[in-house]
Amino acid sequence: MAKVIVGMSGGVDSSVAAILLMNQGYEVEGLYMRNWDSFANGEVSDAPVGKTGICPQEEDYNDAKAVCDKLGIPLHRKDFVKEYYDYVFQYFLDELKKGRTPNPDIMCNRYIKFDMFSEEARKLGADYIATGHYCRLEDGKFLRAVDDNKDQSYFLSQVKKEQFQNVLFPIGGLTKPEVRKIAEEYDLITAKKKDSTGICFIGERNLTKFLQNYLPNTPGDIVNIDTKEVIGKHIGLMYYTIGQRRGLNIGGTEERMFVVGKDLNQNILYICVGEDNDYLVSDSCIVEDVNDLGLNQIKNCTAKFRYRQKDVPVELEYLEDQRILVKYPQGVKRVTPGQACVFYDGEQCLGGGIIQEVRKHNEKLWYL
């Protein structure tokens, strides 16, 4: 009987993944990863407290333990706090310092969940590892999930092809309602548990207060990019992302304003008026650190420049140093340095990279 180690997060998705694997005849054990420690990492404010008075991470572990006990499978626990800080959180901070908008969850999948977790699972005798991600592996291809609304292939686009060997995604062929129904049938504590939101190590708390523990905030001018007028003060460039509309605290106007750029040298935050403003639009970008999951020098495909975005038809020009020039002459709004650009051919995820430079008319946008 083949042994599978399931990454148990304390949520409904990994709970049902374990059930499905048991029903398929695998020997199943759980492994809970502890990736963050607010006290050890030096936080002095706004550290989260869960509904039961303990931190949400401990609540998640208790839920994972309750599920495993009910299913009659062992649950192991491994501390990856130092590794997570070194490989994921430090990357997050470094990108913010560059004025970019990073996605640490993508790096967590690459360096922790499908690298260090896999290594720990092998020590436990695993033939396979499994997670509760909504995606699929079929015939050597990495595919989107059946449930388009929950598909997580975007977040796994930096996982190397060899890291997918001996990996199972049991719920990739199910919809979220189907997953919850199975959990209810087994009367699991996680059946109606709310999905986690926000950045993995921050959780549902204020990003600004969180970052003040790690990066000094340097206030500066907010400038209207069309008129070049100073119209307010920002609290630190790291707290804003391209396309952001809320939280700008610009009074005296009812017009919809959007973050459109940053000048790190002069500490200026640029905004524009109106969601159809031409400053929000680009027609190409350079993507670095490209991870090939099936590109094979393909010239035409679709891409997502952010998770919830619809697919955009693109043309690819391959550059040196694992970079690709991605062209979309129809124009796309809010393409953001530091975010992931992920490529698709229908259901297949071809891989992706990190947006390095945003362009228009063959020129780098000066305000990004």
Pairing state between β 324-333 and 312-318: antiparallel
Q: Could you say which of 55, 68, 135, 200 is catalytic?
A: 200
DSSP 174-207: S-HHHHHHHHHHTT-TTTTPPPP-S-TTT-SS-H
**HSE-up of residue 70 (Cα within 13 Å, Cβ side):** 19
Contact, 281 vs 331, CB < 8 A?
yes
What do you get for the CA distance between the two ends of the chain, in Å? 54
Dihedral-angle region of residue 219 (phi above 0 means left; psi in -120 to 50 means alpha; beta otherwise): beta
Examine the residue annotation and report whether 135 is marked as an active-site residue of this protein.
no
C-alpha–C-alpha distance, residues 101 and 275, integer Å: 20
Residues near 21 by Cβ (< 8 Å), separated by ≥ 6? 4, 6, 28, 130, 168, 170
C-alpha–C-alpha distance, residues 107 and 169, integer Å: 19
Task: Encode burial over 334-343: b for 16+ CB neighbours within 10 A, e otherwise.
Answer: bbbbbbbbbb
Examine the residue annotation and report whether 341 is marked as an active-site residue of this protein.
no
Please give the distance of CA 226 from its chain centroid, rounded to a whole number: 32
Q: Could you say which of 108, 285, 341, 349 is catalytic?
A: 108
Residues near 54 by Cβ (< 8 Å), separated by ≥ 6? none
User: What are 303's strand-pairing partners?
Assistant: 312, 343
C-alpha–C-alpha distance, residues 286 and 151, integer Å: 25
Contact, 243 vs 308, CB < 8 A?
no
What is the set of active-site residues?
A: 108, 200
